[in-house]
Structure 1
Amino acid sequence: MKFIIGIIGLAIVAGLALLGSNDRKSVKIKPIIIMVVLQFIFGFILLNTEIGNILVGGVANGFGALLKCASEGVNFVFGGMVNKGVTSVFFINVLMPIVFISALIGILQYCKILPFIIKYVGLALSKVNGMGQLESYNGIASAILGQSEVFISVKKQLGLLPKNRLYTLCASAMSTVSASVVGSYMLLIKPRYVVTALILNLFGGFIIASIINPYTVKPEDDILEVEEKEKQSFFEMLGEYIMDGFKVAITVGAMLIGFVSIIALINAIFKGICGISFQDILGYIFSPFAFFMGVPFNEAVKAGGIMAIKLVSNEFVAMTTLAQGNLGLSYRATAIVSVFLVSFANFSSIGIIAGAVKGLNEKQGNVAARFGLKLLYGATLVSVLTATIVGLIV
């Protein structure tokens, strides 16, 4: 039965993507089929095989070791505030390690290791997805550098891009997550779901963009020029990345305080007036999507509520709610919802991406702002596609 529901779910995703397509007749079927097959292959390996367990275990242990190193710095600054009693301080234990991970990314950038990986993995990916080298580079770079920083690296070409290519770049940035926050995600949900979502979303971003925004890149336009920052000393670079990581941690913390408090207030108001919380109402609205993603019918409302929280606030708020463990979701429902949460697809990301592009090129920033809702629509479909495929696998 789950296979029938899953296939219907895939058909719904394809139909919704076609509904928002700029040019349905130009959609390239072959690359899309290849990427969907690759999603199933990678998903099955990561979730259902011993090799997958080893790979995920290796990644999880690697991030675990990094977080242990990060805790040394955090403990030095915050001392007895960490894990005092039985209560974990979310800001200190989950968000502060972002500072260290950001610094590590800066070091790998400075040593030219990340640029090499991003460039050549992107080049290989462009042979599969039927898109240009720039789009493929951007997809990989977004998953490492983040949804705002990635545009700095393509600054030279940003002003020359037509709006269809700009959409793909922005959609990739919203469909993935930054490597600096991956370790924090792994403290809230199982690492296997984080790793699976990262890989499946990479392909999913190109699949949905290929349907919503199909186009062909001419060979003479398929040139990749990566912007290099003005040469800095090692410690100038390190200080910059450390501060960038701290800004991310502070921003996420502020967003969490605001959104969690607002949701609590709205829930209280709705319960007082209607006898049902706002989160439950959202759960009913999103429950059909949860069901066709593969969530069991009796858990669809709870799962839909978590999905809705992620969309209207951010993934950290939703992951924190899921991690509390009081929803009683089954293994299958938890797996599906977890992978859905691993992306930047939410309303606040529209402003972040438009602002990042506008800071580099005002005209293109205005273009990005105009198709903001369509960006969110496509990025959300990427998350639904990934979750539906996982629903067919687990």
Structure 2
Amino acid sequence: MNVVFLFTGFLFVAGLGYAFSHNRKAIRLRPIIAMMIAQLVLAFLLLNTGVGIELILFISKVFDTLMKLGISGVDFVFGGLENAGMSTFFLDVLLPIIFISVLIGILNHFKILPLLIRFTGFVLSKLNGMGRLENYIAVSSAFLGQSEVFLTTKKQLGLVSSKRLYTLCTSAMSAVSIAIVGAYMTMLEPKYVVVAIVVNILSALIVANIINPYTLTKEEDLIEPVEETEKPAFFQMISESIVDGLKIAVIVGAMLIGFIALMNLVNELFLLIFRISFQEVLGYIFAPVAFLMGVPQAEIVSAGSIMATKIVTNEFVAMLNFKEIASSLSPKTVGIVSVFLVSFANFGSIGIITGSVRALNEKQGDLVAKFGLKLLLGSTLASVLSATIIGVFL
């Protein structure tokens, strides 16, 4: 039965993507099939083999340790603010992001992370035949996040076509930043966070191949990411990474305050006027999509509500809501919804990506703003595809 839902989920993604494709005749099946096979193999290895399970456990323990180390710094500054036995989301989940941001800065400083990104991007380019810049962005987005990744390619932004720009932005919006992966793991099962990060890279490129197909000449494909000639001093880099981590924590905290309060207001209005909450309405709207992805029929409304909440607000709000009901859902639903939540595909990200690109190249930023809704469609379909792939093995 899981194989049936693999086809229904993919047909939904492919059908909607085909409907909005700008050049249906140019869609190439070979790279799409190759990447889907790679997704299935990777998901199977990570979820159903001893090596994969041990690898996920190791990664989970690493991030758990990093979060605890980050909390040790938080406790030194803010110790005593919490009641005994209580946990504060901002202190215990968001502020440790500062420490992880520092570690990422160190890995970048010593060229370890860029080397890993370039190698993975090279392997991907051999698999899908896409441009090296496309594969670089797809991989680096999973490490650096949707806005930071464009800083590493700011000299190329003004040179790429609008078609390539759409693919680059879809990859960025379909990924997450490794700086907040530890925070995700406090709300979702770590194994689904790890698997989603891996599978999302390919899902974004598959969807881009359907909605936005194109071919590159050798001259165009020579556009590669370049590094800044001036390298900051080590402790300057540490300081900048700390400030960057603090910005992320504060921005996420502010967004949670605003979105959760707004969602509660809308829910109250809907209850007052229609005797049903806004989230329940969203659940019924997205229920058919959840069913096509493989969610058991009895749980499609609950799953659809969480999925829609993520798109309307952001993944943190949806994860917090999901955490409250996850224990009442089947393991299959928990896995599918968890993977769907691990991406930046939401309305707010349209503004973030548009602003990030515009800050580096105003003309290209205006182009991103024009296809913003199509960008949300592509990244959401990528999340649907990733969740569908995982559902096969649950």
The answer for the alignment partner of 2:188 in structure 1 is 189
TM-score of the two chains, using structure 1 as the length reference? 0.97
Note if contact 2:5-2:388 (Cα within 8 Å) is conserved in structure 1. no
Where 2:80 maps in the other structure, the secondary structure is helix
Shift of 1:48: 2.0
Q: Which letter maps to 1:93?
A: D
Change (3 A) 1:229 1:306: farther
Gaps of 5+ in 2: none
The answer for the alignment partner of 1:387 in structure 2 is 387
Shift of 1:69: 1.3
The answer for the alignment partner of 1:97 in structure 2 is 96
Q: Distance in 1 between matches of 2:8 and 2:238?
A: 49
Change (3 A) 1:225 1:47: closer
Note if contact 2:146-2:353 (Cα within 8 Å) is conserved in structure 1. yes
Shift of 1:117: 1.2
Correspondence list, 1:1-394, <5 A: 1-82=1-82, 84-223=83-222, 224-228=224-228, 230-325=230-325, 328-394=328-394
Where 1:227 maps in the other structure, the secondary structure is coil
Q: Distance in 2 between matches of 1:76 and 1:184?
A: 20
Q: Distance in 1 between matches of 2:56 and 2:162?
A: 37
**Which segment is superposed worse, 175-184 or 384-393?**
384-393
Shift of 1:6: 3.2
Deviations 1:210-269 (A, max 9, x none): 111111111122121323263211111111111011001000000001111111111111
Note if contact 2:326-2:334 (Cα within 8 Å) is conserved in structure 1. no
Shift of 1:29: 0.7
Q: Distance in 2 between matches of 1:363 and 1:326?
A: 44
Deviations 1:102-152 (A, max 9, x none): 111111111111111111211111111221111111111111111111111
Where 2:62 maps in the other structure, the secondary structure is helix
The number of residue pairs the alignment matches comes to 393
Shift of 1:59: 0.5
Shift of 1:327: 6.7
Q: Distance in 1 between matches of 2:326 and 2:193?
A: 21
Identity of aligned pairs, percent? 53
CA RMSD of aligned residues (A): 1.2
Q: Distance in 2 between matches of 1:85 and 1:230?
A: 48
Change (3 A) 1:122 1:172: same
Q: Which letter maps to 2:231?
A: K
Q: Distance in 1 between matches of 2:12 and 2:225?
A: 37
- Give 4+ residue runs of structure 1 displaced > 6 Å after superposition: none
Q: Which letter maps to 1:303?
A: A
Deviations 1:275-314 (A, max 9, x none): 1100000000000001111111110000000001100000
Where 1:81 maps in the other structure, the secondary structure is coil
Change (3 A) 1:270 1:106: same
Note if contact 1:152-1:227 (Cα within 8 Å) is conserved in structure 2. no
Q: Distance in 2 between matches of 1:132 and 1:388?
A: 26
Shift of 1:326: 6.5
Note if contact 1:102-1:242 (Cα within 8 Å) is conserved in structure 2. yes
Change (3 A) 1:29 1:326: closer
Q: Which letter maps to 1:155?
A: K
Shift of 1:325: 3.3
Q: Distance in 2 between matches of 1:278 and 1:371?
A: 27
Gaps of 5+ in 1: none
Note if contact 1:208-1:382 (Cα within 8 Å) is conserved in structure 2. yes
Q: Distance in 2 between matches of 1:327 and 1:358?
A: 43
Where 2:147 maps in the other structure, the secondary structure is coil
Q: Distance in 2 between matches of 1:241 and 1:192?
A: 27
